[in-house]
Structure 1
Amino acid sequence: MEILLKRAYEPASPSDGTRVLVDRLWPRGVSRERAALDDWAKEAAPSAELRTEWHHDPEGHSPEHFAAFAARYRAELSEGAGLAALDRLLALARSVPRITLVYGAKDPVRNHAMVLRDALRDRAEATDPDPSGAR
């Protein structure tokens, strides 16, 4: 299972595989044609409250604040609608050779798509009926 990350403002490529937007809001200035998406997983994005807190953090996106954001986001993904969204994305990722999580955040180093990718990988390991990874 290969999971890639790509900003919505970067050109789509056939090598992206299945492209899924993982933001609640559509990226500004990006047409549907240019986005070339196969799916939009709004429900897998951070809650509006968490997103707002992260984007309006007066201390900036320091590693410490990102760690706190990531922990809260992972908590959202571990129950209820967040877990259902995570499992839906995992099923999709397992059904295709490659999936690209498309996001609109400016920071390619600290963003919610990274947290989501890691949560997907962890969930895949936890739910894999064959621990050796053989399929």
Structure 2
Amino acid sequence: MSVRVRRVYEPPQPDDGVRVLVDRLWPRGLAKDAAHVDEWLKALAPSTGLRRWYHAGEGSYEEFRARYEAELTAPEAAGLLDRVREAAGRGPVTLLTAAREPGRSHAAVLARLLRP
């Protein structure tokens, strides 16, 4: 099972597999056809309140991760997470985000949850 995280602004790579955008908002300045996104799963993104709290610098990444993982237990998010997990079982999946630091973003939390 191969799951990786990349910025959506980076050019697609041949080994990306299924490219899944996991941000709630479409990335600024990026044309939809230039993104090469196979699926856009907005419901896997953190809630607006959690995203704003984290970006305001009010808490640590570890606290953000815990709160976000709690949000992912909601039925819609949990179902989408299972769907991406199944896709990763069939081939590579690349989680795309516009975050400046993908390794400390919600996409990294998702990748950790999806890896065996």
Q: CA deviation at 1:117?
A: 0.6
Matched with 2:79 is 84
TM-score (norm 2): 0.91
Partners of 1:93 and 1:13 lie apart in 2 by: 17
Superposed CA deviations along residues 58-117 of structure 1, whole A, max 9, x for unmatched, are: x5xxxx70000000001111232221221121122223x201000010113311100011
TM-score (norm 1): 0.79
Matched with 1:6 is 6
Q: CA deviation at 1:28?
A: 0.5
Partners of 1:99 and 1:69 lie apart in 2 by: 23
Trace 1:37-116 onto structure 2 (pairs within 5 A): 37-57=37-57, 65-95=60-90, 97-116=91-110
1:109 corresponds to which letter in structure 2?
G
Q: CA deviation at 1:15?
A: 1.6
SS in 1 for 2:104: coil
Contact residue 2 and residue 98 of structure 1 kept, 8 A:
yes
Contact residue 18 and residue 100 of structure 1 kept, 8 A:
yes
2:16 corresponds to which letter in structure 1?
D
Contact residue 5 and residue 103 of structure 2 kept, 8 A:
no
Unaligned runs of 5+ in 2: none
Unaligned runs of 5+ in 1: 126-135
Trace 1:9-20 onto structure 2 (pairs within 5 A): 9-20=9-20
Q: Which has the larger radius of gyration?
A: 1
- By relative contact order (CA 8 Å, sep 6+), the higher-ranking structure is 2
SS in 2 for 1:5: strand
Partners of 1:120 and 1:13 lie apart in 2 by: 20
SS in 2 for 1:26: coil
Identity among equivalent positions (%) equals 45
